[in-house]
Amino acid sequence: MNTLTFPILHQLADGQFHSGEALAKQFGVTRATIWNAIRHAESLGIEVFSVRGRGYKLPYAIALLDKEKVLQAIGIEREWFHLEVLDEVVSTNTYLMKAATNGAPHVSCAVAHIQTGGRGRRGRTWVSHLGASLTFSLLWRFDCGAAALSGLSLAVGIALIRALRELDIDTAQLKWPNDVLVDNQKLAGILIDLQGDMDGPSAAVIGVGINVDLPKQVLERIDQPAIDIKHVSLVNIDQSQLLGTVLKHLADVLRHFEQHGFIGLRDEWLSYHAYHNQSVRMLLPDGRDVEGKVIAVAEDGILLVETALGLQRFSAGEISLRGIK
Ligand code: ATP
Ligand code: BTN
Residues 174-194, mean pLDDT to the nearest whole number: 96
Q: What confidence tens digit (pLDDT) does each residue in 72-88 have? A: 999 999 999 999 999 99
**pLDDT of amino acid 318:** 81
Question: In what side-by-side order are the strands of the sheet with 279-283?
Answer: 310-314, 303-307, 289-297, 279-283, 320-323
Global confidence as pTM: 0.96
pLDDT above 80 for 272: yes
Residue 81: the pLDDT is 98
Centroid of ligand 2 to alpha carbon of 137 (angstroms): 8
pLDDT at 104: 98
- Cα–Cα distance measured from residue 54 to residue 19, given in angstroms and rounded to the nearest whole number: 6
Query: By the 8 A CB rule, do 11 and 26 touch?
Result: yes
**How far, in Å, from the CA of 160 to the mean position of ligand 2?**
14
HSE at residue 69, side-chain half, CA atoms within 13 A, is 12
**Residue 244 carries which side chain, given as an amino acid letter?**
G
Q: What is the pLDDT of residue 35?
A: 96
pLDDT above 80 (res 317) = no
Ligand 1 centroid – CA 186 distance (Å): 7
Q: Per the omega criterion (within 30 degrees of 0), is the bond before 225 cis? A: no
Residue 190's pLDDT band, with cuts at 50, 70 and 90, is very high
The beta-strand segments (E) located in the chain are 49-51, 55-57, 82-89, 108-115, 133-142, 173-175, 179-182, 185-196, 202-211, 279-283, 289-297, 303-307, 310-314, 320-323
Query: Is there an atom of ligand 1 within 6 Å of 94 CB?
Result: no
User: CA distances (Å), 130 to each of 64, 114, 230, 265, in order?
Assistant: 8, 6, 15, 34
Residue among 116, 119, 126 whose CB has most ligand 1 atoms within 8 A, to mutate: 126
pLDDT tens readout for residues 7-34: 999 999 999 999 999 999 999 999 999 9
Counting every residue, how long is the chain?
325
Atom of ligand 1 nearest to the CA of 177: 2
For a pocket test of ligand 1, which of 93, 124, 214 has the largest count of ligand atoms closer than 8 A to its C-beta? Answer: 124
**Helical (H) or strand (E) element with 232:** helix 229-232
Decide if 159 contacts 250 (C-beta within 8 A).
yes
Ligand 1: distance of its center to the CA of 27 in Å? 40
Atom of ligand 2 nearest to the CA of 208: 8
Question: For residue 113, is pLDDT > 90?
Answer: yes
Residue 221 binned pLDDT confidence (cut-offs 50, 70, 90) = very high
Compute how many other C-beta atoms are within 10 angstroms of the C-beta atom of residue 214: 22
Mean pLDDT of all residues in 244-264? 97
CB 118 near ligand 2, within 6 Å: yes
Is the C-beta atom of 244 inside 6 A of ligand 1?
A: no
Ligand nearest the Cα of residue 117 is 2
**Dihedral of the CA atoms 307, 308, 310, 315 (nearest 10)?**
-30
pLDDT of residue 325 exceeding 80? no
Transcribe 153-205 into DSSP letters: HHHHHHHHHHHHHHTT----EEETTTEEEETTEEEEEEEEEEEE-TTS-EEEE
pLDDT band at 115 (very low <50, low <70, confident <90, very high): very high
The single-letter code of the amino acid at 308 is: A
